[in-house]
Structure 1
Amino acid sequence: MNYVGIDIGSTASKVAVIGEKEMEFVLPTGWSSKETTQTIKEKLKEEGIDVLSEDTKVVATGYGRVAVDFADHVITEITCHARGGREMAGDDCAIIDVGGQDTKVILVEHGMVQDFLMNDKCSAGTGKFLEIMANRLGVTLQELFDMANEGCVLPISSLCTVFAESEVINYIGEGRSREDIAAGVVDSVAAKVAQLSQRKKLSGKIILTGGLSHSQYFTKILSEKIGQRVEPTKGGRYAGALGAALLAKEKNKK
C-alpha cells in the first residue's frame, strides 16, 4: 500500500508518500488548485503511484483541498498539521505553522489537539509578507535572512502589508542599508507570529513548521520574542502533507 498526503496551500502544494514508496515533493500552487492537482497526479504516476488504484489511499488538506477530486478523504489543515507535527515533536507539543497566507498555532496534548489559533486576516505575519519584501529588495528569501543577520532592526510598525511596504520604500529612499531593512522586515514578521503565539500557553516541545521551518535565524528571533525555545524542523514544510499521509494509513486500518 501507498498512503499519499496532499496539502494544497495558497502558494505551494506539498505531497508526502509513505508505505511501499517514501517520497516528498513540492510544487507552486499557481493560479489554479485544480491544475496543480492534476500535475501532482501525473507526477505520482511517473513514480509508479496510481492514485486511483486500490493499493493507494489519498488524504487531501489545505487551502485548496476540495480540488483534489481523487482523494479518499478530505481533512482540515489543523488536524493534518497536528498529526504531522506530533510525528516530528511527540505527543505533547506546540506547533507554530507560518504559511503563505496564514499563521497557525496548534497545541497538542497526549496526541490530541487541545486548542488552536489561526491568523488569516492579513498577510503581514506570514511568509507572503517576507516574499513581497524580498522581491522589493531584489533578493531571495534566504538572502533576506542572511542580510537580516548582519543588520540592525529598523522599525516597521504598520499592521498592513501595503503600508508596511511603503515604510520599506521610504527606508530605501532614505538610503538605509538593505541589511538593516531586512532585519526590520524579519523582526516585524517574528513579532506578529509571537503576538499570536503568546495568546496561548505553549507547553512541551515547540516547533516551527511551514516554509520558514528550516530557518535557524527566524527561529532564533521568534524564540527571543516568545521567551521560549522554538525549534526549526527539517522537512517542516511537509508537516500538513505528512499528517495527511499518516491519517490515510490510520483510516485504512479501521
Structure 2
Amino acid sequence: MIRIGIDIGSTATKAVALDGEELAYTLVCPTGFSSVDAAEHVAADFADHDYDVQELPVIATGYGRVAVPYADKVVTEITCHGKGASFLFGGDGAVLDVGGQDTKIINLRGGRVVKFLMNDKCSAGTGKFLEIMANRMAVTQDELSALARNGKPTTISSMCTVFAESEVISLIGKGAAREDIANGVIESVVSKVCTLASQISAEQYFLTGGLCENNYIIERLSSHLKAPVTTDPRARFAGAIGAALCVE
C-alpha cells in the first residue's frame, strides 16, 4: 500500500510516498511564506508523478501540518520523527533533530518515544541560526562548515541569535579571520545541541533534519557527545517518513 507523509517545516517542506517499506518518491522544497501554498505545491508535484493525494492516504506533520487540507490526519512532530528515525536506523538511541525553528532530542527505546526535549523559543542552536550567520558572512552553509574546519577556536557566547549576530559583526569589524568566525558559529550551534542532548542518556545518536549531510557538524557533534552520531541522506525526510508510517 502506498502512503504519503508530509512534513511542513518552518524552512523546508518534505514529502514522501512510502510503498510498503520502500521510499518510492521524495520531495523537498522551501516552505516559503505560506504553508498552504507549500501543501498545494506538494499535491501538484505528486500528481505529476502519478501520486494522487485525493486518493491515497495522507498524514501531515510539522510546523504547518494544519495547513494541509487533503490530509486524513495530523500527527505531532515528536511521534513522526521518532517513527522515521526508527525506520531509518533501528535500535535504541537519541534522535537529534536540528530543524529551522527548534531542536528536538527524542529518546527511542524499542522503536518507541520514551522521552523528548526541545530547546527554548530562541533560534540559537538551530538551522535558522546557521542560515542567518552564513548570510551575514556571504557564504553558503556548506562553505561555512568548510571555513570552520580550518578555523581557530573562537567564542560566540550569546544565547540569543540577535546578540550572537552582533558578536559576529563585531568580530568582522575587528578583522577576525573568516575561518575563525565560522568555527565559532558552528561550535556555538553544536554546543547548544549537545547541552540539550546531555539531559538524555544514550549510547548512540541519530541526526535528522537538514544538517544530515553536513559532515563537519556530524564530526563535531560526535566529538562533543563522545559517542557515535549516525545519519543518512534520507534523514532529512524522517518526519515525513514517520508521518507515512502513521497511516492505520
TM range (shorter): over 0.9
**1:193-247, CA deviations, whole angstroms, 9 ceiling, x for partnerless residues?**
00000011123x3111101011121011111112222123222111001111122
The one-letter amino acid paired with 1:32 is S
Letter in 2 for 1:38: E
Amino acid at match of 2:200: K
Please name the residue that 1:231 is paired with: 230
Task: Name the aligned partner's letter for residue 216 of structure 2.
Answer: Y
Aligned to 1:43: 45
In structure 2, list runs of 5 or more residues that go unmatched: none
User: Equivalent residue of 1:22, what SS?
Assistant: strand
In 1, the alpha carbon distance for the partners of 2:47 and 2:89 equals 32
Structure 1: how far apart are the matches of 2:103 and 2:38? 23
1:121-159 residue CA offsets vs partner (Å, 9 max, x unmatched): 210000000000000000001000111111112100000
Conservation of the 8 A alpha-carbon contact between 1:158 and 1:164 = yes
SS of the residue corresponding to residue 106 of structure 1 reads strand
Aligned to 1:247: 246
8 Å CA contact 2:101–2:123 kept in 1: the answer is yes
Q: 1:120 Cα deviation (Å)? A: 3.9
Q: Which residue is 2:174 aligned to?
A: 174
Q: Do the aligned partners of 2:94 and 2:200 also contact (CA within 8 Å) in 1?
A: no
Paired with 1:217 and 1:12, the residues of 2 have a C-alpha distance of 22
Matched residue count: 246
Question: Does structure 2 conserve the Cα–Cα contact (< 8 Å) formed by 1:13 and 1:26?
Answer: yes
Q: Superposed, which structure 2 residues align to 1:1-254 within 5 Å?
A: 1-19=1-19, 22-53=24-55, 56-203=56-203, 205-248=204-247, 251=248
Structure 1 residue 93, shift from structure 2 partner:
2.2
Matched position secondary structure for 2:153 = coil
Aligned-residue sequence identity (percent) comes to 50
Cα distance in 1, alignment partners of residues 52 and 119 from structure 2: 36
Letter in 1 for 2:161: T
**8 Å contact 1:216–1:232 — kept in the other structure?**
no
Is the 2:96–2:105 contact (alpha carbons within 8 Å) kept by the matching residues of 1?
yes
Shift of 1:19: 1.4
- Tell me the secondary structure at the aligned position of residue 139 of structure 2: coil
Cα distance in 2 for residues equivalent to 1:85 and 1:129: 24
TM-score, with length taken from structure 1 = 0.94
Contact 1:99 1:127 in 2 (8 A): yes
d(CA) in 2 for partners of 1:120, 1:22: 36
Query: Secondary structure of the equivalent of 1:124?
Result: coil
Aligned partner of residue 124 in structure 2, secondary structure = helix
SS, match of residue 213 in structure 2: coil
Cα offset for 1:91? Answer: 3.6
